Chain A
Amino acid sequence: GAVVSQHPSWVICKSGTSVKIECRSLDFQATTMFWYRQFPKQSLMLMATSNEGSKATYEQGVEKDKFLINHASLTLSTLTVTSAHPEDSSFYICSARVGSSETQYFGPGTRLLVL
């Protein structure tokens, strides 16, 4: 149980285009999902908290107009990187909480390369 998927796993795009990443909880309902960014050999940096049916809460320094988050259902949250630039190239990981549990289960990540 507690499986989280992400799609796509790999994406290459041209500078200036927008990219959407999906995060799905496959066997449970997730009222809260989180989006992280990870640079090579570094820890995860929390970008935003996504709550179903409400606006996402962004961490300090994360541009909300750049990284659009939508949590339209209890099993799906999406992260859209708008007008992507090479500096947005990174590994993006989502996680989901199971009910009121404090445990987060992570998706396999999405590697984004912006040319």
Chain B
Amino acid sequence: AQTVTQSQPEMSVQEAETVTLSCTYDTSESDYYLFWYKQPPSRQMILVIRQEAYKQQNATENRFSVNFQKAAKSFSLKISDSQLGDAAMYFCNLGSSNTGKLIFGQGTTLQVKP
């Protein structure tokens, strides 16, 4: 079975500071993808960052970067220079190459304090 675990239901960060959201996963597939999506109060799901499992280099997108530890099955998200607009629920996702389905984590609600 494929699972995604986000052990932090809520996190908070001061504006301009850095925060790391944790995620672990389990899969028996050798070819898979990992994603972080954010869901702000508007409830529109937005892709934040994507990582192919076969790539060793950690993905980065501007202020967002991941720490992908394949052996440990860990995929954390680092947000640098946090902004008020980063406040949202963040979902870690495991994408199956076989089925195309996304396995969702429980989500982490991030609060950004001014």
Contacts and interface: CB of A to CB of B under 8 A. Distances in A.
Contacts, number: 50
B110 to A, nearest CB: 13
Given A44-B91, A46-B102, A49-B99, A102 B43 contact: no
A34 interface: yes
Interface residues of A, number: 20
Interface in B29-73: 33, 35, 37, 42-47, 50
A34 B109 CA distance: 24
Contacts of A46: 101-102, 104
Interface residues of B, number: 23
Interface in B64-110: 89, 91, 95, 97, 99-102, 104-107, 109
B50 A106 contact: no
A49 B33 CA distance: 18
Interface in A28-84: 32, 34, 38, 41-44, 46, 49
Interface in A69-105: 91, 93, 95, 97, 102-105
Nearest to B96: A102
A49 B101 contact: yes
B97 A102 contact: yes
A44 B101 contact: no
Given A43-B91, A43-B106, A103-B50, A93 B45 contact: yes
A52 to B, nearest CB: 13
A23 to B, nearest CB: 13
A108 B43 contact: yes
B43 A44 contact: no
